A and B are shown apart, each in its own frame.
Chain A
């Protein structure tokens, strides 16, 4: 029991313990002796415990407050250094927490589904819901690895409102879709098992957000009728808040086997998801799936492969699929950020303590005056904790900003995966990080105290520490830091170059001075009456008449918008087959408005109307792929089979990069929009000057044609390009920022270390100068010694940069491996910056008075 009490006393704060632990122990001994019988002694123990619980926190708070006040005085004297250290820590902690919130959302937080680990996506499964209900159900029933499978296809459709209509994301699914995910409606009911049989499928479940926004959260929505592209559906349920799979769906209908029920002109794409049988692992299921694919395609041609687009059948975990390409990018970012955090911690420790002998002397004097090591430890750890806590609070702002930036660059695919700081894991992470950094740079310097010889340090500045463990450690730290910084700098140069290249990519069209607006006729009278052509002409007339508009056109698929295009393999009149090409319908003036160069022949004219001779314009790369020289005047077969439908090639244009600068995209076949009308189109208008102010004018002009037809997603083409480039831009900015930050830290660290070395060796330097060494030679010696570890680190960094280059490809598709020149450039920047820092640090030797230096000891 006495031992227990002694242990309890150890929990009192250092100063109180030093003062009073002995008499308290003595008193306990006395009372223990006086208490007789185990009952009395147990009572004594209990009282001691209560006494401890009542007094220890107060004593601790009192001492910590004293330490904090003392620390504040010390740091106020070096406010610049402190502010720098705080800023470094805040940035590092904040950035790390921000990236972690992304990782947490993508990888750690589970999906809002039942047993999400067993959900899979079957990419390009040999059989999908397109085969029909009976076939699909039979397939899932005999599957050796799936307990259940569901299909869906998703599109943006027009939802009729009391006034006008809105574009909403609709997923047409099999009846078991929501049930398989484990999503029970918030209220109302889900789809019954047979509600996907055509004729019974006129029902819909609506999303929570839509219910709130459009129906004002009115429960009477159940049983009411909504119109999607004109088709009437009865609302039977409301999905729970946060459920918006897939792709931010707002309405689910069980019309997967009845795709004609809701009329639409957009392309659709059968997607299959499934739930693994219990006991079947991911790897096993993947093997079975591949075997099934092999059996299916035995002796048959596989679907054509497209460049830059994986068309190979594959089984994904739904979790990975939803994290998508953002996952590896975020992991790479996290690793880089963590490195920088490490550098920052090491540096801050350096910056705050070992740099200044002033602090050592203060501690030494306090030790000589009787402060114990424990007491000084407590002081340093408290200071460190307060600094990190302050940094962590500031860091939260940085984290918030980082998460927001990340969200705009790589938005989460599900509402349930929004990046948020308000998650216990993120908060725990930030707290852990603060504690960890506090310990790293609180305890590291505090360990110096244990090596300190009280008494000695007061009168001597510590010579002879060089070559000691601390000295070597410092060298290793500097080298490590140099290595990381060079690697990061090389990586950032390479990213920056790739990004500049990306920005400079010839898209095949000019994005400046162009306003764009989307229109969909689905479910409106313009569609049912077949008046699209009339609509195009009216709208174009109004657009062209609008002030400031130089030219206007309409197109079925504008570059940078859609990810899904109708396409196929087309044959030339001589029978050669070209690569997969996409088909786009465009009006006269389209190429002029987009600034796309016409290489050969002509663009569409008013004469290319319905009933006239079918014509096409093809992209230059399609022409080249046939390898037949000029194709103007030749014919292309537009039919996907059956009787040929020949169209004359009247022009060849510069290829347009449809999905933006990162991917080359497909070859293109353009048709006159009058010959191939489309239910959803984009109007483009080239204007004089900044297109931003014209957006409203253009929208009004088109909206006037038919108020019932929704005009949405009104943007300048420049904005669309910026949206496409948001991710690479975010990554590039992040890496450049991290590299710059690391470089700054490295310079500060090297400077600190060099200054430290000079002050430490003042006496030795004095002796050297006294026996005849020149100032320059002494300075040169210190310079060489300081740069030695930097140089060693830089060598390692150059090697590391090569490895880093490969990781960067996760961030920016066209990133190239870091080349020799980039490494040399990074090393050069690093060497120049640190050399300048060391040279400045050794400056004080020049000002040194040798006799004074000798007297230091």
Chain B
């Protein structure tokens, strides 16, 4: 795989929130679309509920930008429906998610310096 260029990573930032969440969820392993949606729903306490159009729209964008790719492997054919598609994160995707997290950390630090944040929100 080609070496991932820093500029290419920076050019993708900032990430839309749903995409960031999806990258985080995929970093733990391959998932199909619906599982992704459920996972994000769980992680955000039901606040980010992606509709099918928004979900697959984001997936299409992420594939175009090389952040994720479709996976050929199927975990277990008995359990699965052939209509499902599985996705996995690419190296670029991982780098971009990291860079986004760094960007956010810097932002939070800046906020802390300016405002002084309480221990829990």
What per-residue 1/0 map shows which CB atoms of B32-74 lie under 8 Å from chain A?
1110010000000000010111111101100000000000000
Q: Please give me the residue from chain A that is nearest to B53 by CB atom.
A: A55
Min CB distance B48 to A, Å, is 13
User: Which residues on B sit within 8 Å (CB–CB) of A535?
Assistant: none
A19 to B32, CA, bound (A): 14
The answer to whether A23 touches B32, judged by C-beta atoms less than 8 angstroms apart, is yes
Whether A24 touches B81, Cβ cut-off 8 Å, given contacts A16-B60, A19-B60, A30-B34, is no
Q: Which residues from B are CB-within-8-Å of A52?
A: 51, 53
Beyond A26-B83, A52-B51, 15 extra complex contacts between A and B, CB < 8 Å: A16-B57, A19-B56, A23-B33, A23-B56, A23-B83, A23-B85, A24-B33, A24-B55, A27-B52, A27-B55, A28-B52, A31-B34, A50-B51, A54-B51, A56-B53
Question: A26 and B34 in contact (CB under 8 A), knowing A48-B51, A48-B52, A51-B52?
Answer: yes
Distance in angstroms between the alpha carbons of A27 and B37 in the assembled complex: 10
A54 near B83 with CB under 8 A, answer no
CB distance from B104 to the nearest CB of A (A): 25
A20 at the interface (CB under 8 A from B): yes
Ranked nearest first, the 6 interchain pairs of A and B with the lowest CB-CB distance are A51-B51, A55-B53, A20-B56, A24-B52, A26-B83, A22-B83
- In the bound assembly, the distance between CA atoms of A52 and B52 in angstroms comes to 8
Assess whether A55 is in contact with B85, with CB atoms less than 8 Å apart. no
When chains A and B are docked, how far (Å) is the Cα of A31 from the Cα of B51?
11
Residue B84 is within 8 A (CB to CB) of chain A in the complex: yes
In the complex, what residues of B have CB within 8 A of residue A55's CB? 51, 53-54, 57
Asked if A47 CB lies within 8 Å of chain B CBs, one says: yes
Residue of A nearest to B51 (CB): A51
Bound CA–CA A12/B56 (angstroms): 12
Q: Which residues of A49-100 are within 8 A (CB) of B?
A: 50-52, 54-56, 58-59
Whether A51 and B54, one on each chain, are in contact in the complex, defined by CB atoms closer than 8 angstroms, is yes
The answer to whether B51 touches A26 (Cβ under 8 A) is: no
Judged by a CB distance under 8 angstroms, whether A25 is at the interface is: yes
Q: Are B57 and A59 in contact (CB under 8 A)?
A: yes
- B84 touching A20, Cβ below 8 Å: no
18 contacts between A and B (CB under 8 A): A12-B53, A20-B59, A20-B60, A22-B83, A23-B56, A23-B84, A24-B55, A26-B81, A26-B84, A27-B37, A30-B34, A52-B53, A54-B51, A54-B53, A55-B54, A55-B57, A59-B53, A59-B60
The minimal Cβ–Cβ distance linking B58 to chain A, given in whole angstroms, is 9
Interface residues of B in 71-121 (CB under 8 A from A): 81, 83-85
B residues less than 8 Å from A26 (CB atoms) = 34, 81, 83-84
Tally of contacts, chain A with chain B, CB under 8 A: 59
> Secondary structure at chain B's binding surface: helix, strand, loop or mixed?
helix
**Chain B residues within CB distance 8 Å of chain A:** 32-34, 37, 49, 51-57, 59-60, 81, 83-85
Chain B residue numbers with a CB within 8 Å of A59 are 53, 57, 60
The smallest beta-carbon distance between B26 and chain A, in angstroms, is 15
Name the residue among A26, A27, A31, A47 with the largest chain B CB count within 10 angstroms: A27
Residues of A bordering B, CB below 8 Å: 12, 16, 19-20, 22-28, 30-31, 47-48, 50-52, 54-56, 58-59
| Nearest-Cβ distance from residue A590 to partner chain B, whole angstroms | 85
Contacts A22-B83, A48-B51, A51-B51; is A27 near B57 (CB within 8 Å)? no
Chain A neighbourhood of B51, CB < 8 A:
47-48, 50-52, 54-55
Cβ contacts under 8 Å, B56 to chain A: 16, 19-20, 23-24
Alpha-carbon separation in the docked complex, A289 to B52 (Å)? 73
| Beta-carbon contact of B33 and A27 below 8 Å | yes
Question: What's the Cα separation between A399 and B55 when bound, in Å?
Answer: 47
Cross-chain contact A54 with B34 (CB below 8 angstroms): no
Taking a contact as CB atoms closer than 8 A, the residue among A19, A22, A24, A31 that contacts B53 in the complex is A24
Contacts of A28 in B (CB 8 A): 52
Interface hub of B33, B53, B54 (most chain A Cβ within 10 A): B53
| CA A52 to CA B60, docked complex, whole Å | 15
- CB pair B54–A54 under 8 Å, yes or no, is yes
> How many Å lie between the Cα of A47 and that of B34 in the bound state?
15
Cβ-defined contact, A51 with B53, below 8 A: yes
Least CB separation from B64: chain A residue: A62
Compute how far the CA of A1 lies from the CA of B81 in the bound complex, rounded to whole angstroms: 21
Give Cα A25–Cα B59 distance, bound, in whole angstroms: 15
B30 shortest CB reach to chain A, Å: 14
- Residue on B nearest A24 in the bound complex, by CB: B52
Residue of A whose beta carbon sits closest to that of B33: A23
Measured in the bound complex, the distance between the Cα atoms of B53 and A50 in whole Å is: 10
A709-B5 Cα distance, complex, nearest whole Å: 89
- Bound together, the chains give a CA A30 to CA B83 distance in angstroms of 12
Least Cβ–Cβ distance between B83 and chain A, in angstroms: 4
From A25, A51, A56, give the contact of B83 (CB < 8 A).
Answer: A25
Q: Which residues of B contact A54 (CB under 8 A)?
A: 51, 53-54
Please report the C-alpha to C-alpha distance between residue A55 and residue B18 in the assembled complex, in whole angstroms: 14
Name the residue of chain B whose CB is nearest to the CB of A53. B53
Expressed in whole angstroms, the Cα–Cα distance for A12 and B52 within the complex equals 12
A314 to chain B, nearest CB (A): 66
Contacts of A51 in B (CB 8 A): 51-54
A52 to B54 alpha-carbon distance, docked (Å): 8
Q: Which residues of B contact A20 (CB under 8 A)?
A: 56, 59-60
